[in-house]
Amino acid sequence: MTYENLNIAFNNGIALVTITREKALNALNTQTMLELQHFFSTDAYNHEGLKGVILTGAGEKAFVAGADITEFKGLSASEGQALAQRGQDVFFLVERFPKPVVAAVNGFALGGGCELAMACHLRVAGEKAKFGQPEVNLGLIPGYGGTQRLIQYIGKTKATELLMTADIIGATEAHQLGLVNYVVPSGAEIEKATELIEKIASKAPVAIANIISSVNAYFAENVDGFAFEVDAFGACCHTEDFQEGATAFLEKRKAVFTGK
- Catalytic positions, please? 115, 135
**Least separation in angstroms between CB 236 and ligand DAK:** 37
- Give whichever of 60 and 231 is closer to ligand DAK, judged by the CB atom: 60
Q: Are 111 and 72 spatial neighbours (Cβ–Cβ below 8 Å)?
A: no
- Give whichever of 58 and 211 is closer to ligand DAK, judged by the CB atom: 58
Quick one: CA dihedral 203, 182, 39, 149, positive or negative?
positive
- Give whichever of 69 and 177 is closer to ligand DAK, judged by the CB atom: 69
- Give whichever of 30 and 213 is closer to ligand DAK, judged by the CB atom: 30
Q: Are 39 and 6 spatial neighbours (Cβ–Cβ below 8 Å)?
A: yes
What residues contact 88, with CB distance under 8 A and at least 6 apart?
Answer: 143, 144, 145
Pairing of strands 108-110, 52-57: unpaired
**Least separation in angstroms between CB 134 and ligand DAK:** 4
For the chain, percent helix, then strand, then coil, each to nearest 5?
50, 15, 30
Amino acid at site 259: G
Distance, CA of 65 to CA of 150 (rounded, Å): 17
Instruction: Say how far residue 158 (Cα) sits from the centre of its chain.
Output: 21
Alpha-carbon Rg for the chain in angstroms: 19
Q: Are 72 and 34 spatial neighbours (Cβ–Cβ below 8 Å)?
A: no
**Least separation in angstroms between CB 97 and ligand DAK:** 21
Consecutive H or E run containing 209 = helix 205-219
- Give whichever of 151 and 255 is closer to ligand DAK, judged by the CB atom: 151
**Least separation in angstroms between CB 62 and ligand DAK:** 6
Collapsed DSSP state (helix, strand, coil) of residue 255: coil
Q: Report the residue number whose CB is nearest to ligand DAK.
A: 111
Binding interface with ligand DAK (CB under 6 A): 24-25, 27, 65-70, 72, 75, 80, 83-84, 87, 108, 110-112, 134-135, 137-138, 140, 143-144
**Least separation in angstroms between CB 186 and ligand DAK:** 16
- Give whichever of 3 and 72 is closer to ligand DAK, judged by the CB atom: 72
Alpha-carbon separation of residue 61 from 106, 107, 109, 170, 173 (angstroms)? 7, 5, 10, 13, 19
**Least separation in angstroms between CB 140 and ligand DAK:** 5
